[in-house]
Amino acid sequence: MLFKNKLFVSIFCMLGLCFSNLKLNAQELYVSAEPASTMPARSIIIKQAYSTMTGEKTLHNFNSQLQFSLNKKWMAHIGTNYKSWDFYTQYRFFSKDALYEHLRMALYFKSIQSSSTAIPTNAILLDGEESVIQGGFIITQLKHKWASSLSVGPIVKRESLSSNGAGGLQYSFSNGVLLYPTSYTSYGQTNVNLYLELIGQSLFSGKAHYVDIAPAIQFIFNSQAKLNLSYRLPLVNQTNRATYNTASISWDYLFFNALPKRRPLKSKEIN
């Protein structure tokens, strides 16, 4: 019953985000997932995040991350939470832009190398408690006031790479809108964005399955720095995860044109 209520509220909120006030602009600077869009070429982001995970036990997680893009299509992140290292890379292979809208597709790969001695669960953990490899596909549609993104791809614990059926599917569905300002006049305006994201995992064996919902609010300062607040909780949880509610706060700062300029684009690269 509780699940049905949560699901109903979530779907209602998402529809609300999608079809609300026509003045709203879409936002795809998601807090929990990556959009298919890439960072501006030659830019660097430094990011610091803190999260408290609760459930059967409580964990605190500090994560520091360096993100960079060498060109307009390729970007990478390197991060650590001091008991694990994570590496993420994403390549945008399709982009169709029009005025106030775009459709983009990308491929991603993520690897987490953990030194944690956490007790294994039947879910594959992505919070640095386990060594994990994942990859997949992202599609993002931005259309005026509506920005949605879907990601899906296989995931596997490093220790079970050789066993058949040990992996699963990781997926996400993200929506976002700009709440403030109602019209842009300068880069100095503080932006307030609202997000509603679903994050799910299903093991191929059918033994574990979860779908979490992660609402978030985001403040953007000077069109360059972000402050994110989010709370993630399970909608469906058929796992024995020890932690399943996560409160997070993170900030990041974008340095434009931080890396050296590359050669001019060739005509066939224009897309």
Partner 1 sequence: MRYLIIGLFFFLSSSATAQVQSVELVASGLTCSMCSKAIFKSLSALDFVSNVKVDIEKSSYILAFKSPNEVKIEQIRDAVYDAGFAIETMQLTANFPSAKAVTDETVSLNGYQFKWKLLGSKNISSPQKVTIVNKEILPTEGVYYLKF
Which residue among 53, 123, 132, 220 contacts partner 1 (CB under 8 A)? 220
Contacts of 137 (CB under 8 A, 6+ apart): 105, 106, 107, 108, 151, 152, 153
Using rule CB under 8 A, residue 25 touches partner 1: yes
Contact between 22 and partner 1 by CB under 8 A: the answer reads no
109: nearest Cα among 128, 90, 131, 83: 90
Separation of alpha carbons 259 and 163, rounded Å:
42
Instruction: For residue 250, state whether it binds partner 1 (rule: CB under 8 A).
Output: no
Residues in the interface with partner 1 (CB under 8 A) total: 44
When asked if residue 95 is in the footprint of partner 1 (CB under 8 A), the reply is yes
Amino acid at 220: I
101 sits near partner 1 (criterion: CB under 8 A): yes
Q: Is 208 near partner 1 (CB under 8 A)? A: no
Contact segment (CB under 8 A) with partner 1 among 10-18, 33-41, 78-86, 195-203 equals: 33-41
Does residue 256 interact with partner 1 by CB under 8 A?
yes
Q: Sign (positive/negative) of CA torsion 217, 248, 78, 157?
A: negative
Instruction: Decide: is 260 part of the binding site for partner 1 (CB under 8 A).
Output: no
Cα separation values, 173 from 3, 124, 138, 180, Å: 18, 19, 10, 23
Considering only 30, 31, 32, 43, the residue that binds partner 1 (CB under 8 A) is 43
Q: Which of 261, 254, 224 is nearest to 42 (CA)?
A: 261
Give the C-alpha separation, 265 to 9, whole Å: 47
User: Which residues form the interface with partner 1 (CB under 8 A)?
Assistant: 25-29, 37-43, 71-72, 95, 97-102, 142, 144, 147, 178, 183-187, 189, 191, 220, 223-224, 254, 256-257, 261, 264-265, 267-268, 270
